[in-house]
């Protein structure tokens, strides 16, 4: 299998048939073997019935139906796990991504890149609720992580299988695929792609995601820099706290010697005690983090999702069973 197009969907019933037709028109002329892997992430609008019909008519349509709504990141991971293509194309199921851009992504990928990411050059979304928060978030992510990608949230992208399988996708880290790819040592490129307004279904985006992006950014920064050495970040903070406590205690002694201020009534004494205790706690947390890190890397990984049923994926089931 040359290509796997992985599409997580949630309540996109009215978009599925047009999307399937546009994908066929875009992929057939490429002359490559391909599959379209839809991951139904707990849809409740009848999307699975449409997927059943598409899979019955087209054997290249593969369906992974999850038991409940796990979120976009586990759904994306499920699509990667159950796909077979040497190159994986990811995109949304809301018709805002254009399948005609796949050929350009593949052409750029063949220049020797590990992943080619889309850049929504003329984004068809609202300014206050979508564009502005996205621009701010992209700027912050670039500054914190050093990843030179300008559109982190564009979901249409092409990746080689070895890179896609190496990405640690859990929680809501689908927003940080470029950062995770860079962490894995991938050679990245980004090209402008088309972006269409949503014509059916409802967006799952709201401003509450902004807070989650900030929290996930802290997680990614920690994973990017300190996941194998948590003692470096916690221990450094602990030593700085203990150093500040020592300075506070020294100030207490100096004030007692020169000004006659009683140590027991000096707030710097209590500050020094608090800082020293904080330092010990931070260093202890760093040691616990080191133990947890070793346990994590030595244990067997488990997928962050459960599959209810599959369609047209018998060969993958046999491969996974073997």
Q: Which pLDDT score is estimated for 176? A: 85
Cα gap 32→295, rounded to integer Å: 43
Q: Which pLDDT score is estimated for 241? A: 93
| C-alpha separations of 179 from 77, 138, 220, 224 in Å | 16, 11, 8, 8
Look at the alpha carbons of 137, 143, 145, 148 in this order and tell me if their dihedral is positive or negative: positive
Residues, the chain = 322
Q: Which pLDDT score is estimated for 151? A: 85
pLDDT tens digits, 38-65: 999 999 999 999 999 999 999 999 999 9
Would you tell me how many other CB atoms lie within 10 Å of the CB of residue 144?
A: 14
Cα gap 234→232, rounded to integer Å: 6
Which residues, including other chains, have CB under 8 Å from residue 94's CB and lie 6 or more apart? 12, 15, 198, 200, 201, 203
Q: Which pLDDT score is estimated for 269? A: 87
Sites in the chain below the pLDDT cut of 50: none
Q: What is the pTM of this model?
A: 0.73
CA-wise closest residue to 118 among 156, 77, 84: 156
pLDDT tens digits, 207-266: 556 667 777 777 777 767 776 677 888 888 899 999 999 999 998 888 888 877 777 778
Q: Which pLDDT score is estimated for 219? A: 74
């Amino acid at each position: 299998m040359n290509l796997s197009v992985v599409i997580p969907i949630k309540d996109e019933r009215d978009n599925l048939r047009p999307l399937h037709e546009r994908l066929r028109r875009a992929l057939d002329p490429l002359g490559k073997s391909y599959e379209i892997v839809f991951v139904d992430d707990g849809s409740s609008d009848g999307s699975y019935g449409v997927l059943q019909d598409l899979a019955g008519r087209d054997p290249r349509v593969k369906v992974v139906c999850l038991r409940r709504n796990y979120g976009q990141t586990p759904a994306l991971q499920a699509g990667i796990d159950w796909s077979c293509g040497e190159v994986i194309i990811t995109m949304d199921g809301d018709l805002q991504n254009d399948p005609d851009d796949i050929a350009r992504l593949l052409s750029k990928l063949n220049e020797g890149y590990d992943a080619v990411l889309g850049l929504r050059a003329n984004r068809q979304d609202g300014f206050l609720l979508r564009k502005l928060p996205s621009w701010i978030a992209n700027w912050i992510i670039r500054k914190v992580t050093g990843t030179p990608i300008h559109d982190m949230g564009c979901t249409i992208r092409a990746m080689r299988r070895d890179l896609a399988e190496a990405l640690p996708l859990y929680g809501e880290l689908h927003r940080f695929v470029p950062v995770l790819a860079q962490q894995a040592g991938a050679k990245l490129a980004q090209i402008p792609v088309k972006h269409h307004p949503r014509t059916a279904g409802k967006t799952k985006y709201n401003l509450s995601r902004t807070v989650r992006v900030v929290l996930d950014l802290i997680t990614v920064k920690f994973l990017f820099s300190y996941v194998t050495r948590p003692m470096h970040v916690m221990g450094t903070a602990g030593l700085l706290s203990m150093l500040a406590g020592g300075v506070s205690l020294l100030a207490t002694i100096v004030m007692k010697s020169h000004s006659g201020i009683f140590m027991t009534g000096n707030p710097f004494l209590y500050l020094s005690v608090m800082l020293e205790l904080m330092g010990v706690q931070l260093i202890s947390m760093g040691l616990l983090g080191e133990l947890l890190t070793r346990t994590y890397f030595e244990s067997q990984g488990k997928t962050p999702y459960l599959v209810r049923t599959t369609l047209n994926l018998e060969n993958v089931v046999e491969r996974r069973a073997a």
